[in-house]
Structure 1
């Protein structure tokens, strides 16, 4: 599938903050696939059809400022709380009351905020290399708000350092890089379209002042599955596993550490699907 094909299958929702494009495919119980930074719903392209084939309805949004969704001017509009409000608005628009929530990377921050607003909407959690606590959080880029970071974002979206950014991203994020030009297009095109405002907020704000969700996380009491890349240097499972498993009451049999790095959806999509399906059946 090309990135253009993927986009042609997306639907559109006008959220309070801007346009959200999303995949909505299949019928049955709902699985939401939430990306992080600097990816989009494209990250899950190798998983969607496999989950749909097993009788699930899959929702995979491009959050505001990512993928093919809107890219409005502003700074606070890309705060974690605002992302959560738009995600909840999308699920309300689709009349989906409850769902299994699969999330990755910065999608964790948006997820914890969503729990604050609607703690009873998510039925099951599936954690994929996501941001939970400061322990284990090793972002490859930390920047200050201001002209230098704005200039860096300008170079990303004008093709000057776009390839360098992606090359470094995949070098750190993949144990074995088998990405084709077609695969990379889904990451590259949004950047060249100017989708760097949400990235600017993340790198200049979130990476420097990570919100503390520990009290809220400890109050979550739903079935939780962890699937993590063992060699992830950006989000390190070993540094936080004891605390996370205790706080979320995760059973050892529901923790699976794969021979992969950060972008496990690119490296192990079939294995992830199999683990999710087994978890939901149990």
Structure 2
């Protein structure tokens, strides 16, 4: 596969992301193409890990207001960029991407770093991929904190998502920063919008961002059998599982009801509603951090 790598100078103007870059190279199991994954790794190396996974079409910059407070509480925070996003490598063809391939790439990365005692913190596609990782490697995870995401296994998509999926496939322009601005219930600054645009110097870098919405397993999606196998794990999951969805996301509003009461680990957890839109990390990072600290254990 052909792979692009965003030049470092594309990120040079970002002033509110004071975290060192780390890189891990994996090999695609299909054709052996080397792929470089970028991640933030802050805090004591022997501390319990809080794994913060972003979604579509953002990157780990999304967690910039949360990394520091969780590290200050004594944890090791690791926040990767998914392949196709952020500072990670970007295959150029939409056919290079699939849901299963992404899970496989990130599993290879987790195993290479030998991450254990993890609390998964996830939203949007961070949950679709992250929850599948939990289901495939349950012994590596100690707890889950989920906001504005899910693990769909068929059925009709919410109307707001269907509109977004159509836009991602057919719109002649795909302005990443403005998309994230629209999904956050606050006006991002011009510098913040530019930071979200930075990974994508031109449209050739956007294949992953464009194709992701079509992979969400609604209707008769090819990933539904894999989702059902993952749910078999969560139907028996007794470790802490906390939901903190927002009050202003038209796509995932009410999504916590698919987990609370079904996943045994949701029982007696301090679930709460956060204030904001889809990209809750931009609206209520303090509330999201507090939810993490309620279940992550030193």
- For the aligned pair, the TM-score class normalised by the smaller chain equals 0.7 to 0.9
Contact 2:127 2:149 in 1 (8 A): yes
1:179 equivalent to 2:188? Answer yes
Contact 1:142 1:208 in 2 (8 A): no
Gaps of 5+ in 2: 1-11, 29-34
Distance in 1 (alpha carbons) for counterparts of 2:180 and 2:188: 12
1:261 equivalent to 2:284? Answer no
Aligned to 2:114: 95
Distance in 2 (alpha carbons) for counterparts of 1:116 and 1:243: 16
Aligned to 2:251: 234
1:260 counterpart SS class: coil
1:197 equivalent to 2:207? Answer yes
1:104 equivalent to 2:123? Answer yes
1:191 counterpart SS class: coil
Aligned to 1:188: 197
Write out per-residue CA displacement over residues 1-39 of structure 1, whole angstroms, 9 at most, x where no aligned residue.
963674872111112131111101111111100000000
* Residue of 38, 44, 51 corresponding to 1:21: 38
Taking structure 1 as reference, are residues 225 and 247 closer, same or farther at Cα in structure 2, changes over 3 Å only?
Answer: same
Deviation of 1:269 (Å):
0.9
Taking structure 1 as reference, are residues 232 and 100 closer, same or farther at Cα in structure 2, changes over 3 Å only?
Answer: same
Taking structure 1 as reference, are residues 274 and 205 closer, same or farther at Cα in structure 2, changes over 3 Å only?
Answer: closer
Contact 1:26 1:57 in 2 (8 A): yes
Count of residues in correspondence between the two structures: 266
Taking structure 1 as reference, are residues 4 and 63 closer, same or farther at Cα in structure 2, changes over 3 Å only?
Answer: farther
Contact 1:84 1:114 in 2 (8 A): yes
Structure 1 residues 208-247: aligned runs within 5 Å = 210=221, 211-212=223-224, 213-220=227-234, 221=237, 222-237=239-254, 240-247=255-262
Deviation of 1:47 (Å):
0.4
Deviation of 1:46 (Å):
0.6
Write out per-residue CA displacement over residues 131-159 of structure 1, whole angstroms, 9 at most, x where no aligned residue.
32357744242239xxx94773xx43xxx
Moved more, 5-14 or 37-46: 5-14
Taking structure 1 as reference, are residues 235 and 89 closer, same or farther at Cα in structure 2, changes over 3 Å only?
Answer: same
Aligned to 1:31: 50
1:143 counterpart SS class: helix
Write out per-residue CA displacement over residues 89-124 of structure 1, whole angstroms, 9 at most, x where no aligned residue.
222222223311111101222123323432322111
Taking structure 1 as reference, are residues 7 and 192 closer, same or farther at Cα in structure 2, changes over 3 Å only?
Answer: farther
CA root-mean-square deviation: 2.8
Contact 2:181 2:193 in 1 (8 A): no
Under a length normalisation based on structure 2, what TM-score does the superposition of the two structures give? Answer: 0.79
Under a length normalisation based on structure 1, what TM-score does the superposition of the two structures give? Answer: 0.83
Distance in 1 (alpha carbons) for counterparts of 2:22 and 2:249: 32
1:97 counterpart SS class: coil
Deviation of 1:77 (Å):
3.6
1:79 equivalent to 2:110? Answer no
Aligned to 1:159: none
Write out per-residue CA displacement over residues 184-221 of structure 1, whole angstroms, 9 at most, x where no aligned residue.
12211123354311123213443765543245224221
